[in-house]
Amino acid sequence: MIDTALASACRLIAGATAEWRCNPDSPAQRIYFGNHSSHLDFVVIWSALPWRRRRHARPVAGGDYWQQGRLRRYLASDVFRAVLVERESSSGDRAERARAAVEQMARAMGQEDSLIVFPEGTRSANGQMGPFKSGLYHLSRARPDAELVPVHLENLNRMLPKGESLPVPMVCRVTFGPVVPACPGERKDAFLERARTAILQLEARA
């Protein structure tokens, strides 16, 4: 109920038209990875998914933001079933935290869930995609069975720019690209570059 209403509200504000270059209704477990420019990014991807897939798509989000306040906690845990991870910027051993986060994500996928992740790790200020952190690489190696689907989001940075808390309606476009094939034994940098290029190609063709 609430998730359907929320998805409709999101489509009204974002007017998101989804374009699919892979099978939208595939039962395969997937890792949707997109460019990150606003807090609404994962909601827009989430509401663009077919209803049956939406129930199995879990966004990965920063625990520091989503654990503040009852409403956010409720939305994160009950509606989106978000996987809340500690950010790398938190104190402590960074490499250790990153490893723990990847492990947590891989476990959260379980037998039938998909993930929505943003490999840049943080929102870009100007809409230009930044470099990818290594999390996506480690995640793809931990879950080699999952399909990697690149997602390009257009206009989200104009809808809710960094530093603003209220969105302005925009006609946004969500493009789901073809599945990025796995290359066993590929080096980390080459993999991340290939994944990032997959999103840039969607941008160029959009």
Partner 1 sequence: MTLIQDPSLKSLILGVLALLVFASVAGWILDRRVSSASARATVDNINARIRAWWLMALLFVVAVSMGTIVSILLFATTSFLALREFVTLAPTRPGDHRALFWSFFVVTPIQYFLIWMQWYGLFSILIPVYVSIFLAIRTALAGDTERFLERSATNQWGLMICVYFVSYVPALLMLRIPGYERQAPALMFFLVLVVQLSDVLQYVWGKTLGSRRIAPSISPNKTWEGLIGGVVSATALGTAIWWATPFSPGAAALMALILTTMGFAGGLIMSAIKRDRGVKDYGTLIGGHGGVLDRIDSLCFAAPVFFHLTRYFYVP
17 touches partner 1 by CB under 8 A: yes
Residue whose CB is less far from partner 1, 18 or 139:
18
Of residues 86-145, those binding partner 1 (CB under 8 A): none
8 A C-beta contact, residue 136 and residue 198: no
Residue 25 binds to partner 1 (criterion: CB under 8 A): no
Helices within the chain (DSSP H only)? 2-14, 41-48, 51-54, 63-66, 70-74, 94-109, 135-142, 156-159, 188-205
Is residue 15 near partner 1 by the rule CB under 8 A?
Answer: yes
161 binds partner 1 (CB under 8 A): yes
Min dist CB 17 to partner 1, Å, is 6
166 contributes a contact to partner 1 by CB under 8 A: yes
67 in Cβ contact with 73 (< 8 Å) = yes
Using rule CB under 8 A, residue 164 touches partner 1: yes
3-state secondary structure of 205: helix
- Whether residue 152 contacts residue 199, with contact meaning beta carbons closer than 8 Å, is answered with yes
Q: Whose Cβ is closer to partner 1: residue 138's or residue 173's?
A: 173
What's the CA angle centered on 135, arms 183 and 30, to 5 degrees? 60
Is the Cβ of residue 3 or residue 19 nearer to partner 1 in the bound state? Answer: 19
Give the integer Cα–Cα distance in Å for 22 and 175. Answer: 10
Minimal CA–CA distance to 139: which of 81, 168, 182, 172?
182
Does position 203 interact with partner 1 (CB under 8 A)? The reply is: no
- Is residue 169 close enough to count as binding partner 1 by CB under 8 A? yes
Cβ at position 49, least distance to partner 1 in Å: 19
Counting contacts by CB under 8 A, is residue 205 touching partner 1? no
CB of 142 to partner 1, least distance (A): 37
Least Cβ distance, residue 37 to partner 1 (angstroms): 12
d(CA 36, CA 75): 20
* Three-state secondary-structure class, residue 176: strand
Query: Binder to partner 1 among 6, 170, 186, 201 (CB under 8 A)?
Result: 170
Residues near partner 1 (CB under 8 A) = 15, 17, 155, 158, 161, 163-164, 166-171
